[in-house]
Structure 1
Amino acid sequence: MKKYLVGMQKDGTVKYYYIRNLENYEIELLPTKYLAHKTKSRRSPNTVRRSAFALSFYLEYLSGKELDVTDVLRMKFTDQTEVFIDFLYWLKQGKHKEENGTTPRNETCNAYLKDVFRFYLFIEMEYQSFGSLKVLSYNQFITPNAVGVRKVIKSHSFHGYLKEEERDVKPAEQDEIVRVLQACTNCRDQLLILLIAETGFRIGEILGVDYIRDIDYENHLLKVYFRDDNENDARAKNAEYRKAKISDDTFEFLIYYLSEYRKELQCQNYLFINITGDTAGKPLKVDSVYDMFTRMEKKTNIKITPHMLRRYFANSRREAGWPLELIQKALGHKHLETTVKYLNIVDDELLDASQKYYEQQQPMYGIEKLL
């Protein structure tokens, strides 16, 4: 039986997560204070929730070792390293679950440990007397960036993460999208699929769209704004602002959808809502979207997810000649490397590009003079 329970308490629209010890029914103060800090720092509820479960798993692990959080801070570097590597393998074996299920991905285990590390760094900042996490002893140096702004570069010494598997997520294909659209039973689901495919927005960004404030009806633009009080917990990642143009056909379909469900939409401002049942008219949530895609997969034998639609957007724009930087901006990626991972760049394509380059630049080194 688990010793620690993750709970949630609402204060208005804000969700506060906590961890309770089920043996004495007391709140675990250090991790709960950290979770409150993340909430007050405007991190998304889903992010805070994931951190809460990561910390509850870690507390379960420490309990089995008869250790507490501060004991680890007082350990030597080698002992700390052993604790965290052992924690990773404990997760990998599924010991954080009460029932045997699928083995967690290495990426998932590493993400849990990174949440634990962030917790410890918070403790170091708040309570310096507890000691330090030596496996994260930062080396830092200051360097100017391209525009002369001084930037602190940090690196840490922990190298015990599990080797992460390559994620084999293929982009949706246009014919697959068409077939799924034809199988949908309502225009809300069809519009949702069309907008993700045409904007590349994340599902949380699409679900947060306010049809009064976030749509430029004159120029056929969809806008993304960061809000931390959305009723359906939808958020724009990285607190960024973006906008995207949609096709004339999709815009006409958007107007048709607004007309079709005008009564349900009148009670609130979210573009996507529940259209049946007791919650009709309430903002649509992420879980309901994934349930819809699961139903479509059973109906058509075609697997499509919001992430696959984002990859479709990236690859179709690249094929149309968009520069990588434009695709990066459209997707809302902080790093160009992330955008490149979305693209179907294969070895043969790289070889063909190299061949064409050399054909165009054949005499660039003057090698004929060296022979």
Structure 2
Amino acid sequence: MKRYTVQSMQDGKIKYYFIRDCITMEMVLLPSKYLAHKIKANQSPNTVRRYAFAISFYLEYLLETGLDIEQVYELEYEDQNEHFINFLKWLKAGKHKDENDIRIPHNGTCNAYLKDVFRFYSFVEKECQIQTGLKVLYYDSFFTPNAVGVQKEMRFRSFKGYLKEEERKVRAAEHDEIVEILKACTNIRDQILVMLISETGYRIGEILGVDYTKDIDYQRHTIRIYFRDDNDNGARAKNAEYRRAKVSDATFQFLMCYLAKYRELLQYQQMLFINISGDTKGQALKVDAVYCMFKRMEKKTGIRITPHMLRRYFANMRWEAGWQLEMISQALGHKHLDTTIKYLKIIDDRLIEASDKFYEQHSELYGIEKLI
């Protein structure tokens, strides 16, 4: 039985996470204070939830090692380095999981948990006024404004023990698959949700945060996403960013049909997507409900599609249509072009094709025939 558990509590529209000691039944104060700080700093609730689990896993690991946080600071560099490398191995072995969960965690997931732990240590140093940081981390910080002009502290970290990350093998959804999923949907809400993600490339948290009273331009057929931290369903735009996307006329007319069909429910709600049945009828649709819908469609059709696969479909369709890489990246809300490139299944073929054309025109770059 795990000693530490992640729990949450609601304060109005704000959801707080905390860690409870299952033996004493008391809140673990320092980690819980850190999580509350992150919520107050406008971090996404889903991100803070991940922080909570990462720290709870680390507390379990500390319990097995017989160390506490203060003792970790006192370790010599090599011992401290080994401590965190062993934590990665502990995660990779699945010791943080329930006994019935036999899935092997990805290296990237393990690394992400350790980075979350390092963030917690950074908070501990400031909160407890610890003069020396972790020896395995070299801190060199500077401040830079983020997308909305807020000064954000950036830090370089030198820990070299991360696991080698595997390449994510996430494919793009195919057009025919999307059509079959649309046919299998039992209501117009699920259909328009699939259509809008496919045509905007928005993340699931972004599309669920659309306010139909503010974010839809009914003349230009565009839908915007805008950062808000007070959505009833907890959905929000990533990285406090703002984007706008245009949808096809046919899809927009279908959207109008959805709004008309459920106008009696929507008049009490600003969120575009709502629950249309059950005890939560009329309330804002949540992420978990969307994934359950896709699971039902998978059982019904045998086709596995996720919101992320629809984003990749959007990217590949625009690439095939001749959009510039930078434009696709901007539409997806990516910070780095490298991320966008990973979405494009055909970019390697395009690069080879471009190289072939180049060498056809420049076949004698070095005068090799004269060298033979």
Q: Which residue of 2 aligns with 1:146?
A: none
Contact kept, 8 Å, 1:74 with 1:131, in 2: the verdict is: no
Map 1:236-255 to 2 at 5 A. Answer: 236-255=237-256
Q: Which residue of 2 aligns with 1:343?
A: 344
Q: Which residue of 2 aligns with 1:148?
A: none
Q: Secondary structure at the match of 2:170?
A: coil
Mapped pair 1:13 → 2:18: no
Q: Secondary structure at the match of 1:107?
A: helix
Cα distance change, pair 130–141 in 1 and its aligned pair in 2 (3 A)? closer
Contact kept, 8 Å, 1:224 with 1:236, in 2: the verdict is: yes
Q: Which residue of 1 aligns with 2:197?
A: 196
Question: Could you tell me how far apart the structure 2 residues matched to 1:93 and 1:263 are?
Answer: 51
Question: Could you tell me how far apart the structure 2 residues matched to 1:196 and 1:20 are?
Answer: 38
Q: CA deviation at 1:75?
A: 1.1
Question: Could you tell me how far apart the structure 1 residues matched to 2:131 and 2:32 are?
Answer: 17
Mapped pair 1:58 → 2:58: yes
Of 174-183 and 195-204, more deviation after overlay is shown by 174-183
Please tell me the residue identity of whatever aligns with 1:31. Answer: P
Contact kept, 8 Å, 1:74 with 1:130, in 2: the verdict is: no
Of 46-55 and 127-136, more deviation after overlay is shown by 127-136
Give a deviation string over 1:335-361, Cα, whole Å, max 9, x none.
111001100135444222101022234
Question: Could you tell me how far apart the structure 2 residues matched to 1:141 and 1:57 are?
Answer: 30
Question: Could you tell me how far apart the structure 2 residues matched to 1:37 and 1:75 are?
Answer: 28
Question: Could you tell me how far apart the structure 1 residues matched to 2:165 and 2:32 are?
Answer: 29
Q: Which residue of 1 aligns with 2:307?
A: 306
Of 162-171 and 207-216, more deviation after overlay is shown by 162-171
Q: What stretches of structure 1 of length at least 5 have no aligned partner?
A: 144-150
Question: Could you tell me how far apart the structure 2 residues matched to 1:154 and 1:20 are?
Answer: 30
Mapped pair 1:67 → 2:99: no
Please tell me the residue identity of whatever aligns with 1:33. Answer: K
Q: Secondary structure at the match of 2:311?
A: helix
Q: CA deviation at 1:164?
A: 1.7
Cα distance change, pair 152–107 in 1 and its aligned pair in 2 (3 A)? closer
Cα distance change, pair 300–209 in 1 and its aligned pair in 2 (3 A)? same
Please tell me the residue identity of whatever aligns with 2:92. Answer: K
Of 159-168 and 34-43, more deviation after overlay is shown by 159-168
Contact kept, 8 Å, 1:172 with 1:311, in 2: the verdict is: yes
Cα distance change, pair 171–141 in 1 and its aligned pair in 2 (3 A)? same
Q: Secondary structure at the match of 1:354?
A: helix
Q: Which residue of 2 aligns with 1:46?
A: 46
Map 1:145-156 to 2 at 5 A. Answer: 155-156=156-157
Give a deviation string over 1:179-220, Cα, whole Å, max 9, x none.
111111111010000000000000001001111100000100
Question: Could you tell me how far apart the structure 2 residues matched to 1:75 and 1:368 are?
Answer: 60
Mapped pair 1:187 → 2:193: no
Cα distance change, pair 141–358 in 1 and its aligned pair in 2 (3 A)? farther
Q: Which residue of 1 aligns with 2:289?
A: 288
Of 229-238 and 93-102, more deviation after overlay is shown by 93-102
Cα distance change, pair 267–70 in 1 and its aligned pair in 2 (3 A)? same
Give a deviation string over 1:82-103, Cα, whole Å, max 9, x none.
1111111111222112323122
Q: Which residue of 1 aligns with 2:28?
A: 28
Question: Could you tell me how far apart the structure 2 residues matched to 1:100 and 1:79 are?
Answer: 33
Q: How many residues align?
A: 363
Q: Secondary structure at the match of 1:244?
A: strand
Map 1:130-149 to 2 at 5 A. Answer: 131-138=132-139
Q: What stretches of structure 2 of length at least 5 have no aligned partner?
A: 145-151
Cα distance change, pair 140–160 in 1 and its aligned pair in 2 (3 A)? same
State TM-score, norm by structure 2. 0.92
Mapped pair 1:127 → 2:124: no
Give a deviation string over 1:274-319, Cα, whole Å, max 9, x none.
1111211111111111111111111111111100000000000000
Please tell me the residue identity of whatever aligns with 1:244. Answer: A
Give a deviation string over 1:6-46, Cα, whole Å, max 9, x none.
12122211111111222223322221111111111100111
Q: Secondary structure at the match of 1:222?
A: strand
State TM-score, norm by structure 1. 0.92
Runs of 4+ in 1 over 6 A off after TM superposition: 140-143, 368-371
Question: Could you tell me how far apart the structure 1 residues matched to 2:302 and 2:157 are?
Answer: 45
Q: Which residue of 2 aligns with 1:355?
A: 356
What is the percentage of aligned positions where both structures have the same residue? 63
Question: Could you tell me how far apart the structure 2 residues matched to 1:114 and 1:86 are?
Answer: 14
Q: CA deviation at 1:243?
A: 0.3
Of 91-100 and 287-296, more deviation after overlay is shown by 91-100
Contact kept, 8 Å, 1:73 with 1:130, in 2: the verdict is: no
Q: CA deviation at 1:138?
A: 2.9
Q: Which residue of 2 aligns with 1:157?
A: 158
Q: Which residue of 2 aligns with 1:258?
A: 259
Cα distance change, pair 106–366 in 1 and its aligned pair in 2 (3 A)? closer
Question: Could you tell me how far apart the structure 2 residues matched to 1:97 and 1:342 are?
Answer: 30
Question: Could you tell me how far apart the structure 1 residues matched to 2:335 and 2:185 are?
Answer: 34
Give a deviation string over 1:144-182, Cα, whole Å, max 9, x none.
xxxxxxx99853221111222211111011111111111
Contact kept, 8 Å, 1:70 with 1:130, in 2: the verdict is: no
Question: Could you tell me how far apart the structure 2 residues matched to 1:260 and 1:288 are?
Answer: 20
Question: Could you tell me how far apart the structure 2 residues matched to 1:109 and 1:168 are?
Answer: 17
